[in-house]
Amino acid sequence: MKNLKTFLIGFLLLSVTGVFAQDPNFYIYLCFGQSNMEGVGPIEAQDKTVDSRFKTFQAIDCPNLERTKGQWYDAVPPVCQCNSGLSVVDYFGRTMVENLPDSITVGIVTVAIGGCDIRIFDKDIYQDYDSTYAEDWFVDKVKSYDWNPYQYLLDLAAQARKDGVIKGILLHQGETNTGDEHWPLYVKKIYNDMLAELSLEAESTPLLAGEVVGAEVGGCCSAMNPIINKLPNTIPTAHVISSDGCDVQDDKAHFTSEGYRIMGRRYGAKMLSLLGY
Protein backbone atom coordinates (compact mmCIF):
# COMPACT_ATOMS: atom_id res chain seq x y z
CA MET A 1 0.00 0.00 0.00
CA LYS A 2 2.85 2.36 0.87
CA ASN A 3 4.53 1.73 -2.48
CA LEU A 4 1.25 2.31 -4.30
CA LYS A 5 0.75 5.60 -2.46
CA THR A 6 4.27 6.73 -3.36
CA PHE A 7 3.70 5.81 -7.01
CA LEU A 8 0.42 7.72 -7.16
CA ILE A 9 1.94 10.84 -5.62
CA GLY A 10 4.82 10.73 -8.08
CA PHE A 11 2.47 10.19 -11.02
CA LEU A 12 0.29 13.12 -9.99
CA LEU A 13 3.30 15.41 -9.64
CA LEU A 14 4.48 14.52 -13.12
CA SER A 15 1.00 15.00 -14.56
CA VAL A 16 0.43 18.37 -12.92
CA THR A 17 3.81 19.95 -13.68
CA GLY A 18 4.51 18.48 -17.09
CA VAL A 19 7.88 20.26 -17.02
CA PHE A 20 9.80 17.01 -16.88
CA ALA A 21 8.91 16.41 -20.53
CA GLN A 22 10.40 19.75 -21.57
CA ASP A 23 13.94 20.03 -22.86
CA PRO A 24 15.50 23.24 -21.49
CA ASN A 25 17.96 23.14 -24.38
CA PHE A 26 15.19 23.31 -26.99
CA TYR A 27 14.64 27.04 -27.63
CA ILE A 28 11.27 27.83 -29.24
CA TYR A 29 10.37 31.09 -30.98
CA LEU A 30 6.87 32.18 -31.96
CA CYS A 31 6.74 33.98 -35.32
CA PHE A 32 3.85 35.98 -36.78
CA GLY A 33 3.06 38.74 -39.23
CA GLN A 34 2.22 39.19 -42.88
CA SER A 35 3.84 38.30 -46.20
CA ASN A 36 7.50 38.91 -45.38
CA MET A 37 7.09 36.63 -42.37
CA GLU A 38 5.11 34.16 -44.46
CA GLY A 39 7.91 34.18 -47.03
CA VAL A 40 7.86 35.28 -50.67
CA GLY A 41 11.49 34.76 -51.62
CA PRO A 42 12.42 32.16 -54.24
CA ILE A 43 13.92 29.12 -52.49
CA GLU A 44 17.34 28.45 -53.97
CA ALA A 45 19.70 25.46 -53.74
CA GLN A 46 21.71 27.02 -50.91
CA ASP A 47 18.55 27.30 -48.80
CA LYS A 48 17.70 23.61 -48.89
CA THR A 49 20.47 22.39 -46.60
CA VAL A 50 19.54 22.85 -42.95
CA ASP A 51 21.22 21.81 -39.72
CA SER A 52 19.03 19.22 -37.98
CA ARG A 53 19.20 21.37 -34.82
CA PHE A 54 16.93 23.91 -36.55
CA LYS A 55 13.32 22.70 -36.47
CA THR A 56 9.92 23.98 -37.58
CA PHE A 57 6.64 23.06 -35.91
CA GLN A 58 4.22 22.35 -38.73
CA ALA A 59 1.23 24.71 -38.55
CA ILE A 60 -1.00 23.13 -41.20
CA ASP A 61 -1.18 19.84 -43.06
CA CYS A 62 0.93 20.01 -46.23
CA PRO A 63 0.69 16.79 -48.25
CA ASN A 64 2.95 18.29 -50.93
CA LEU A 65 5.71 18.60 -48.32
CA GLU A 66 4.83 15.32 -46.61
CA ARG A 67 4.31 17.23 -43.36
CA THR A 68 1.54 16.88 -40.80
CA LYS A 69 0.24 19.59 -38.50
CA GLY A 70 1.64 19.47 -34.98
CA GLN A 71 4.89 17.67 -35.79
CA TRP A 72 8.49 18.88 -35.71
CA TYR A 73 10.53 18.75 -38.92
CA ASP A 74 13.93 19.96 -40.03
CA ALA A 75 13.35 23.58 -41.05
CA VAL A 76 13.80 23.18 -44.79
CA PRO A 77 11.79 25.98 -46.46
CA PRO A 78 8.98 26.65 -46.81
CA VAL A 79 8.38 26.83 -43.06
CA CYS A 80 5.07 28.72 -43.01
CA GLN A 81 2.49 27.53 -45.52
CA CYS A 82 2.52 24.73 -48.05
CA ASN A 83 3.59 26.90 -50.97
CA SER A 84 5.24 29.90 -49.34
CA GLY A 85 8.83 30.92 -49.99
CA LEU A 86 11.94 32.01 -48.17
CA SER A 87 11.13 34.02 -45.03
CA VAL A 88 12.92 36.22 -42.51
CA VAL A 89 12.90 33.30 -40.05
CA ASP A 90 14.84 30.89 -42.27
CA TYR A 91 18.21 32.46 -41.63
CA PHE A 92 17.24 33.48 -38.10
CA GLY A 93 17.24 29.81 -37.16
CA ARG A 94 20.38 29.05 -39.12
CA THR A 95 22.24 31.91 -37.44
CA MET A 96 21.10 30.77 -34.02
CA VAL A 97 22.27 27.16 -34.32
CA GLU A 98 25.55 28.19 -35.95
CA ASN A 99 26.43 30.25 -32.87
CA LEU A 100 24.81 28.38 -29.98
CA PRO A 101 26.36 25.35 -28.26
CA ASP A 102 25.82 22.04 -30.03
CA SER A 103 23.57 20.93 -27.17
CA ILE A 104 20.92 23.52 -28.08
CA THR A 105 18.18 23.05 -30.68
CA VAL A 106 16.11 25.94 -32.08
CA GLY A 107 12.48 25.57 -33.11
CA ILE A 108 10.08 28.00 -34.76
CA VAL A 109 6.29 28.15 -34.77
CA THR A 110 4.99 30.37 -37.58
CA VAL A 111 1.55 31.80 -38.38
CA ALA A 112 1.51 34.54 -41.02
CA ILE A 113 -0.91 35.92 -43.58
CA GLY A 114 0.11 38.05 -46.54
CA GLY A 115 -1.75 41.34 -46.66
CA CYS A 116 -3.14 41.20 -43.14
CA ASP A 117 -3.70 44.10 -40.79
CA ILE A 118 -1.88 43.62 -37.47
CA ARG A 119 -5.24 43.65 -35.72
CA ILE A 120 -6.15 40.26 -37.20
CA PHE A 121 -3.96 39.00 -34.32
CA ASP A 122 -5.95 40.93 -31.71
CA LYS A 123 -8.03 38.31 -29.91
CA ASP A 124 -10.84 40.80 -29.21
CA ILE A 125 -11.35 42.34 -32.66
CA TYR A 126 -9.81 39.87 -35.13
CA GLN A 127 -13.19 39.23 -36.75
CA ASP A 128 -13.21 42.80 -38.03
CA TYR A 129 -10.02 42.10 -40.00
CA ASP A 130 -10.34 38.52 -41.25
CA SER A 131 -11.62 39.80 -44.59
CA THR A 132 -9.23 42.73 -45.10
CA TYR A 133 -9.15 41.60 -48.70
CA ALA A 134 -12.09 39.91 -50.37
CA GLU A 135 -9.86 37.90 -52.68
CA ASP A 136 -10.07 34.14 -52.36
CA TRP A 137 -6.33 33.80 -51.65
CA PHE A 138 -6.63 35.92 -48.52
CA VAL A 139 -9.79 34.27 -47.25
CA ASP A 140 -8.31 30.83 -47.84
CA LYS A 141 -5.26 31.67 -45.74
CA VAL A 142 -7.35 32.96 -42.85
CA LYS A 143 -9.55 29.89 -43.11
CA SER A 144 -6.48 27.64 -42.88
CA TYR A 145 -5.95 29.09 -39.40
CA ASP A 146 -9.55 28.37 -38.35
CA TRP A 147 -10.49 32.04 -38.92
CA ASN A 148 -8.58 33.07 -35.76
CA PRO A 149 -4.81 33.34 -36.40
CA TYR A 150 -4.03 34.54 -32.87
CA GLN A 151 -5.70 31.63 -31.13
CA TYR A 152 -4.31 29.25 -33.71
CA LEU A 153 -0.77 30.41 -32.93
CA LEU A 154 -1.34 30.12 -29.19
CA ASP A 155 -2.73 26.61 -29.54
CA LEU A 156 0.34 25.60 -31.55
CA ALA A 157 2.59 27.26 -28.99
CA ALA A 158 0.95 25.37 -26.13
CA GLN A 159 1.53 22.11 -27.95
CA ALA A 160 5.07 22.91 -29.06
CA ARG A 161 6.23 24.03 -25.62
CA LYS A 162 5.67 20.54 -24.28
CA ASP A 163 8.98 19.78 -25.99
CA GLY A 164 10.93 22.91 -25.14
CA VAL A 165 10.97 26.44 -23.75
CA ILE A 166 9.56 29.56 -25.45
CA LYS A 167 12.41 32.06 -25.54
CA GLY A 168 11.10 34.88 -27.72
CA ILE A 169 8.61 36.24 -30.25
CA LEU A 170 9.42 37.41 -33.78
CA LEU A 171 7.21 39.81 -35.73
CA HIS A 172 7.39 41.10 -39.29
CA GLN A 173 4.36 43.15 -40.21
CA GLY A 174 3.50 46.73 -41.03
CA GLU A 175 3.02 47.12 -44.75
CA THR A 176 -0.78 47.01 -44.48
CA ASN A 177 -0.70 49.44 -41.54
CA THR A 178 1.60 51.98 -43.21
CA GLY A 179 1.12 55.40 -41.67
CA ASP A 180 -0.90 54.23 -38.66
CA GLU A 181 0.71 55.84 -35.62
CA HIS A 182 -1.31 53.56 -33.33
CA TRP A 183 0.52 50.47 -34.61
CA PRO A 184 2.88 50.21 -31.60
CA LEU A 185 -0.15 50.16 -29.29
CA TYR A 186 -1.79 47.42 -31.36
CA VAL A 187 1.37 45.35 -31.12
CA LYS A 188 1.68 45.99 -27.39
CA LYS A 189 -1.78 44.58 -26.73
CA ILE A 190 -1.12 41.47 -28.82
CA TYR A 191 2.27 40.91 -27.19
CA ASN A 192 0.88 41.37 -23.68
CA ASP A 193 -2.01 39.02 -24.43
CA MET A 194 0.42 36.37 -25.65
CA LEU A 195 2.56 36.70 -22.55
CA ALA A 196 -0.43 36.50 -20.23
CA GLU A 197 -2.11 33.54 -21.90
CA LEU A 198 1.11 31.55 -22.18
CA SER A 199 2.30 32.55 -18.67
CA LEU A 200 5.49 34.11 -20.02
CA GLU A 201 7.56 36.95 -18.58
CA ALA A 202 8.43 39.86 -20.86
CA GLU A 203 12.02 40.05 -19.57
CA SER A 204 12.72 36.48 -20.68
CA THR A 205 10.57 36.61 -23.83
CA PRO A 206 11.75 39.56 -25.94
CA LEU A 207 9.92 40.74 -29.05
CA LEU A 208 11.95 41.28 -32.23
CA ALA A 209 10.21 43.33 -34.93
CA GLY A 210 11.70 43.89 -38.36
CA GLU A 211 11.54 47.00 -40.49
CA VAL A 212 9.80 46.77 -43.84
CA VAL A 213 11.72 47.30 -47.11
CA GLY A 214 13.54 50.62 -46.87
CA ALA A 215 13.26 53.81 -48.87
CA GLU A 216 16.84 53.53 -50.18
CA VAL A 217 15.80 50.61 -52.41
CA GLY A 218 12.36 52.02 -53.26
CA GLY A 219 10.27 50.16 -50.70
CA CYS A 220 6.60 50.92 -51.21
CA CYS A 221 5.85 51.02 -47.48
CA SER A 222 9.07 52.51 -46.13
CA ALA A 223 7.07 55.30 -44.45
CA MET A 224 6.16 52.66 -41.87
CA ASN A 225 9.72 52.27 -40.61
CA PRO A 226 9.76 55.39 -38.40
CA ILE A 227 6.61 54.06 -36.72
CA ILE A 228 8.11 50.58 -36.28
CA ASN A 229 11.15 52.20 -34.69
CA LYS A 230 8.95 53.72 -31.99
CA LEU A 231 7.99 50.24 -30.76
CA PRO A 232 10.63 50.06 -27.97
CA ASN A 233 9.16 53.28 -26.54
CA THR A 234 5.90 51.38 -26.05
CA ILE A 235 7.31 47.91 -25.28
CA PRO A 236 10.58 48.05 -23.28
CA THR A 237 11.44 44.44 -24.22
CA ALA A 238 10.98 45.08 -27.97
CA HIS A 239 13.89 45.40 -30.38
CA VAL A 240 13.76 46.62 -33.97
CA ILE A 241 15.68 44.84 -36.74
CA SER A 242 17.00 47.14 -39.46
CA SER A 243 16.25 46.43 -43.12
CA ASP A 244 18.94 48.83 -44.31
CA GLY A 245 20.61 47.55 -47.48
CA CYS A 246 18.19 44.64 -47.99
CA ASP A 247 17.16 44.60 -51.62
CA VAL A 248 13.58 44.44 -52.87
CA GLN A 249 11.73 42.45 -55.51
CA ASP A 250 10.04 44.18 -58.43
CA ASP A 251 6.82 44.55 -56.43
CA LYS A 252 8.65 46.97 -54.07
CA ALA A 253 7.12 45.22 -51.05
CA HIS A 254 8.99 41.95 -50.59
CA PHE A 255 12.66 41.31 -49.97
CA THR A 256 14.73 39.40 -52.47
CA SER A 257 15.99 36.00 -51.34
CA GLU A 258 19.29 37.57 -50.31
CA GLY A 259 17.36 40.29 -48.51
CA TYR A 260 15.54 37.63 -46.50
CA ARG A 261 18.85 35.99 -45.64
CA ILE A 262 20.31 39.27 -44.39
CA MET A 263 17.20 40.08 -42.34
CA GLY A 264 17.17 36.60 -40.85
CA ARG A 265 20.82 36.86 -39.82
CA ARG A 266 20.08 40.21 -38.19
CA TYR A 267 17.17 38.76 -36.23
CA GLY A 268 19.47 35.95 -35.14
CA ALA A 269 22.33 38.24 -34.16
CA LYS A 270 20.04 40.35 -31.99
CA MET A 271 18.52 37.32 -30.26
CA LEU A 272 21.98 35.85 -29.66
CA SER A 273 23.11 39.13 -28.07
CA LEU A 274 20.07 39.10 -25.79
CA LEU A 275 20.97 35.56 -24.75
CA GLY A 276 24.47 36.72 -23.89
CA TYR A 277 26.34 35.38 -26.92
Mean pLDDT of all residues in the chain?
93
- Which pLDDT score, from 0 to 100, does residue 134 have? 67
Max Cα-Cα span within the chain: 75
Count of domains observed in the chain: 1
The predicted model scores a pTM of 0.92
- Sheet (strand 238-241) strand order: 72-74, 54-57, 105-112, 26-33, 165-172, 207-210, 238-241
Is residue 9 a part of any domain in this protein?
no
Q: Which sequence positions are flagged as catalytic?
A: 35, 251, 254
Spatial neighbors of 48 by CB under 8 A, at least 6 apart, are 76, 77
What is the pLDDT at residue 254?
Answer: 98
CA angle in degrees (0–180, nearest 5) for 88-239-112: 35
**Rounded to a whole number, what is the distance in angstroms from the first to the last CA of the chain?**
52
CA distance 255 to 18: 41
Is residue 4 included in any domain, yes or no? Answer: no
58-102: pLDDT as tens digits: 999 999 999 999 999 999 999 999 999 999 999 999 999 999 999
CATH number for 176: 3.40.50.1110
13 part of a folded domain = no
In a domain, 5, yes or no: no
d(CA 92, CA 148): 26
SS3 of 94-127: the string is HHHHHHCCCCCEEEEEEEECCCCCHHHHCCCCHH
Provide the residue range defining the domain that includes 182: 22-274
